[in-house]
Each structure stands twice: as structure tokens, then as C-alpha cells.
Amino acid sequence: MALLLAACGPRTHFPPLPPALPDLLAPGDSAAALARELAPVLYLQRDESFPLERTVAVLHPTRRVIAYYLTYEHDIAARWSPFAQGPDEEELWVGYDATLAPTDLWTYWHGDILHANWRGRGELGVDVQWGKHGSLPRGTPPSALPRDKSLEIFYAMTYVFPDLWFGRFSSRGPLCFCRSFARYLEFTRPILLGARLTAIGRTADPDSLLTAVFGPQYAHKPYWPWEGRRYRNLRSAVSGSRALLGHQ
């Protein structure tokens, strides 16, 4: 039965981009330029198998926050299943002040939101987990992560995760990570996200824009870091502290 399901597994498909996208900003708009300027550098793990595909930046109309929505070709989970959602969607957010300097960085980490104070830290950076593409503020120590979602646990799963094996029947991909934990932590493949943005918009509700760019089967994760209706309302700071995430 598993082999039959794998044979019918999803093939990642992105819809053709329509001539007009909802809530789109003109390329020369100053807000669009800000979204490109504040886009973090993505540091992929050096052995990453699945490429970054389409990306969307959205500026909130009333708060100084820019959301970046990313899609990868697949992740290692359930890419063999016909019920999988297809492309892997991940998210991160940048807060900025009145001088347009970055102040905060939030990233989506498997249902939790990680937060880092970025005042005075220079260029924004995000480390991208191998295979599952959870996003980490650059330099986050493994000890700062929730214990049930630690890098050690995810690393161990790469050797015993049956989805990796079944996935090979429907698409290309690794059978395991097959390298050391130290190598698992080598985030050394930079991608300049600001140069890779498929679309830049401004809206508080980006669903229409994301559907047009990613297709209707994207993951529909929380659009903003203060939303609590779709995930456990927790914040993990780089220092390792955890606190309720209030509206910011």
C-alpha cells in the first residue's frame, strides 16, 4: 500500500503567474525597495537537496513588520503521499523602526515562533534547517530551541524517518542525512533573498497574493508573528527564554 501511495505521490506544481497579482507593489515603489533591502540572507545547510522556489514579501499596512513567505520544492516529510500539500512553505518576519533599521527577527520553527532582537546587529541572516527547512535566526544556539523540537532530535530522525525512503518512489531526494551532527549545523550556502523575491505586496491579509503565487495548496501558516489562532502562541528567544508572544 505504501508503494502504491508513493507511486501516486505529489509532483510539485506552481501555477502560472497571472498578469495582475492582488495587493502587488510596483517594483520602483519605495516600500518594495525596503522589502528587498531588509530581506535576510538565507544560509542553507551545505548539503541541502531541495531548492528554494518562489518567495513573497508582504509589508503590513499599519505595523513596521515585513513578512517573507518562502516555498521549497519539497521537504523530507510526506513528499511521497498523495495527500501532501506539495511545496514546502516556510515563513519569517522582520521588524524595523522609524529610521528603517531592523529591530527584530522572527522565524517559524515547526509550530513555534523564534525571536531575536536585531538592533545593532547588522545584516539580517537566517539559518535554514536541512530537509525540513525550519528557519532559525542566524547564530541561534541549539540549546535555545524547544526541547521537543531540538536539532538533535531532527538530526536523529533523518536516520529513522521512513518518509525519506518512501519519498524516493515519487521524487528525487536523500535517503538519510548520512553525515555528522557537526555537518548538520553547517549553514554555509548563502542565498540573497532580496534578489529572489517573486512578488512584493502590502496587505494585512496576504492569502490572495500567496494563493496566486504559490497555488491554493500552500500550508497557510500564520501570516504574522502575533497571530495565535493557528499555532502554539510561544516565543523562543535566542537566549533560550520562552514567553507568551503579545501583539507588537
Query: pLDDT (tens digit, 9 = 90+) per residue, 148-174?
Result: 999 999 998 887 665 555 555 555 666
Query: What is the pLDDT, as a whole number, of residue 219?
Result: 87
C-alpha distances (whole Å) from 115 to each of 104, 164, 181 are: 7, 30, 24
Residue 33 reports pLDDT greater than 50: yes
Residue 9 reports pLDDT greater than 80: no
Q: How confident is the model at residue 49 (pLDDT cuts 50, 70, 90)?
A: confident
DSSP output for 61-82? SSSSEEEEEEEES--SSSTT-T
Residue 165 lies in a domain: yes
CA–chain centroid gap for 183, Å, is 21
- Could you give phi then psi for residue 116, rounded to 5 degrees? -135, 130
126-150: pLDDT as tens digits? 999 998 999 999 999 999 999 999 9
What is the residue range of 184's domain?
22-239
Pick the residue with more confidence: 112 or 14?
112
Q: What percent of the chain has pLDDT over 90?
A: 65
67-125: pLDDT as tens digits? 999 999 877 765 545 555 557 799 999 999 999 999 999 999 999 999 999 999 999 99
Residue 163 lies in a domain: yes
Q: Where are the beta strands (DSSP E) in the chain?
A: 41-45, 52-59, 65-72, 88-96, 102-109, 112-117, 125-128, 135-137, 187-192, 199-202, 234-237, 242-244
Here the cell at position 16 is: 502560472
Query: What is the pLDDT, as a whole number, of residue 55?
Result: 98
Pick the residue with more confidence: 173 or 239?
173
Pick the residue with more confidence: 231 or 151?
151
Residue 91 lies in a domain: yes
Q: What percent of the chain has pLDDT over 70?
A: 76
Query: What is the pLDDT, as a whole number, of residue 107?
Result: 97
Residue 16 lies in a domain: no
Question: How many domains would you assign to the chain?
Answer: 1
Residue 11 lies in a domain: no
Residue 246 lies in a domain: no
